[in-house]
Structure 1
């Protein structure tokens, strides 16, 4: 993968005109190093950056993870144009719904848009203490929001702060508690998978306040299927597809087991500074995670400090980084429809 000196992009309109719509698979491609056009924004200049994702701020010095762009094999990914997207979002709501990975993509989107709004009085963040956080682009009357619902349906993990519980319980047939906040959105971007990674999850029939509710341990895939059925039924009934664009973000790879790329089986993404170059691997960006370079929400023990791999975050992604590419793909699909 060579260094790109100049990157050529087609416009979204040209890219998706005529036969290119059916011919171009945006997800079939490779990572190309490009330190001319990337990163698309600077970490320190995004006032809305999350401490969970600000790897340079928390000590990471090798910043090449910021310079990789995604290159489809048979076309070019359109350049992200923040002003054009804001015009598309004028008088509208764009809502990311899901877990912390979707929150990371939302932070990325906010930083991509933030850099194009020079007047600090024309943008602000609204934290109302609930599951919903809103970035407002005042000049466009546009709202780009994140709603915490890691399992999409109602669960005992719905508190955006206090959700680390030993036992996970979902109400697989209950979604209205969350969904009423999304009903009038113009673009909805969902994700949900990370919180389902358990052999079994307890499902509740009844409410959390009802002492007579029925609890049952359900195999993970079945409980996930039940929740997605509730979610899709709600979309079918409540969402006007003529008004609202719907997206579901698929699984984001983790790099928690270094043996997957031929390293020691007791290691993970800690100290990784190069991506995987071998063709055919599921996800090449093992160097793109925060690892130890993030705010630690809890005091680390002496045992943890002696073994950095034990507290390395190999799930989320540094910003600028991989989620920016997700948003470039999302941008292309927003204008594709």
Structure 2
């Protein structure tokens, strides 16, 4: 009679649970949305990084149990050549793989988040090709496909920008070890991923061919030798398995050109008794010399090599470089809003034509794969992706200054340039699939 029901306490507890459960759910949802908006990236390191090396769960290279399985749909996508040039930028709720505070390889001038850029909308876009899918970058796929290989980025600061993007995405799965550095501003660096024995290097070579850069103590112009490659990277070709070339912007500077031991002409050289010939033909010669040297040197030794040429990356100066608002846009251009024309189109055309000629030349040798990494148009549509004044930390902390230097050429990291490496990986993955089909 006076006994207490064994379910009475549970009933009260159940009532309280029903009362407060909605509030708890709302609270958790708010926290999740806050985390997603301000920190939409994966945790800096996976749990495998906390394990001893021998105990890490890594991709195996066993042929009997492939570490990466492709669905039938993915295999079809990779079997068909996709034109990544045409497409549009669409909203991406997931955001980039990394942020500016957890990756230690970003050049200071491109670390827009750390420098206080207030609008983060530029992080939430992805490139959607018209003819195919472009999957999210998968570091483990990259590690598998380039296991035991040496990848080299060779060129100007755009090559370095692309390299640092790749390293940051890979660092979400495994830490790169810096094993070599040399030169002013670390223009020659090398990293090693011990888990898959992958080496990634960057070679500063803004002309690809041999050149002497202008200096404060020497001539106020560059000197280029169009018929011989820069030996700093040319001498290492025997040890490189995949090379990504990138040039363009440095050819706009004043220069004197040489070929065959004599002066060929110059670009913007008032006061010098040389013929003005512009820079387009010399840039073409430089690309031709670089590709020809790679093909013939590797082909003569019977060595395989994969070669990419990244096309010209347009700048977006809408105002003066030293005033606020030089590249003020915060959203991508829509299709048809900005046309590829003028110098941007001309530079790209030269690169596409020379890569086409090099492909034909490479057919005489086995084991050579060449591809243009055509990023000009998709980059042209991203005026919001540059550091602008945030190439320096908190440039408006003390109010808007009359003059402030802007970078409307390079790309914030993370940001637009991550897409270049997405495409790079997809082409490599398609090559791998085609090779397996031919076996």
Greater helix percent: which structure? 2
Q: 2:167 aligns with which of 99, 110, 125?
A: 110
Once the two structures are TM-superposed, the CA of residue 156 in structure 1 deviates from its matched residue by 1.1
Paired residues for 1:322-333 under 5 Å: 322-333=416-427
Q: 2:282 aligns with which of 223, 241, 257?
A: 223
Paired residues for 1:152-167 under 5 Å: 152-157=208-213, 166-167=220-221
Q: Deviations over 1:132-158 (max 9, x none)?
A: 211211121111111100000011129
1-structure distance, mates of 2:181, 2:78: 46
Corresponding residue of 1:210: none
Corresponding residue of 2:156: 99
Once the two structures are TM-superposed, the CA of residue 168 in structure 1 deviates from its matched residue by 1.4
Alpha-carbon distance change, 294 to 11 in structure 1, aligned in 2, over 3 angstroms: farther
Paired residues for 1:1-337 under 5 Å: 14-17=73-76, 21-22=80-81, 24-36=82-94, 38-117=95-174, 123-130=176-183, 131-157=187-213, 166-175=220-229, 177-178=231-232, 179-198=234-253, 201-205=255-259, 214=263, 216-217=265-266, 218-240=277-299, 243-257=304-318, 269-281=326-338, 282=340, 283-295=380-392, 305-308=401-404, 311-337=405-431
2-structure distance, mates of 1:77, 1:317: 20
Aligned to 2:427, the other structure's residue is in SS state helix
Q: Report if aligned partners of 1:78, 1:328 keep a CA contact under 8 Å in 2.
A: yes
Aligned to 1:172, the other structure's residue is in SS state strand
Once the two structures are TM-superposed, the CA of residue 32 in structure 1 deviates from its matched residue by 0.8
Alpha-carbon distance change, 333 to 76 in structure 1, aligned in 2, over 3 angstroms: same
Once the two structures are TM-superposed, the CA of residue 271 in structure 1 deviates from its matched residue by 3.2
Corresponding residue of 1:5: none
2-structure distance, mates of 1:73, 1:145: 33
Once the two structures are TM-superposed, the CA of residue 205 in structure 1 deviates from its matched residue by 4.8
Alpha-carbon distance change, 149 to 13 in structure 1, aligned in 2, over 3 angstroms: farther
Give the TM-score, by structure 2 length: 0.62
Give the TM-score, by structure 1 length: 0.79
Alpha-carbon distance change, 82 to 18 in structure 1, aligned in 2, over 3 angstroms: closer
Q: Report if aligned partners of 1:95, 1:182 keep a CA contact under 8 Å in 2.
A: no
Q: Report if aligned partners of 2:119, 2:330 keep a CA contact under 8 Å in 1.
A: yes
Once the two structures are TM-superposed, the CA of residue 278 in structure 1 deviates from its matched residue by 4.9
Alpha-carbon distance change, 12 to 286 in structure 1, aligned in 2, over 3 angstroms: farther
Pick which of 170-179 and 247-256 moved more.
170-179
Once the two structures are TM-superposed, the CA of residue 274 in structure 1 deviates from its matched residue by 2.2
Once the two structures are TM-superposed, the CA of residue 231 in structure 1 deviates from its matched residue by 1.2
Corresponding residue of 2:269: none
Pick which of 103-112 and 73-82 moved more.
73-82
Aligned to 2:108, the other structure's residue is in SS state coil
Alpha-carbon distance change, 81 to 127 in structure 1, aligned in 2, over 3 angstroms: same
Once the two structures are TM-superposed, the CA of residue 177 in structure 1 deviates from its matched residue by 1.3
User: Across the two proteins, how many residue pairs are aligned to each other?
Assistant: 300
Once the two structures are TM-superposed, the CA of residue 269 in structure 1 deviates from its matched residue by 4.1
Aligned to 2:101, the other structure's residue is in SS state helix
**Gaps spanning 5+ residues in structure 1: where?**
1-9, 208-212, 260-265, 297-303
Alpha-carbon distance change, 39 to 129 in structure 1, aligned in 2, over 3 angstroms: same
Q: Deviations over 1:21-65 (max 9, x none)?
A: 14x3222111111122x2121221112222121001112121111
Once the two structures are TM-superposed, the CA of residue 18 in structure 1 deviates from its matched residue by 7.2
Q: Report if aligned partners of 1:256, 1:267 keep a CA contact under 8 Å in 2.
A: no
2-structure distance, mates of 1:128, 1:78: 33
Larger Rg: 2
2-structure distance, mates of 1:158, 1:320: 31
Aligned to 2:304, the other structure's residue is in SS state coil
Once the two structures are TM-superposed, the CA of residue 126 in structure 1 deviates from its matched residue by 3.0
Corresponding residue of 1:263: none
Q: Deviations over 1:165-215 (max 9, x none)?
A: 7311101112151311233211110011111125x63113578xxxxx757
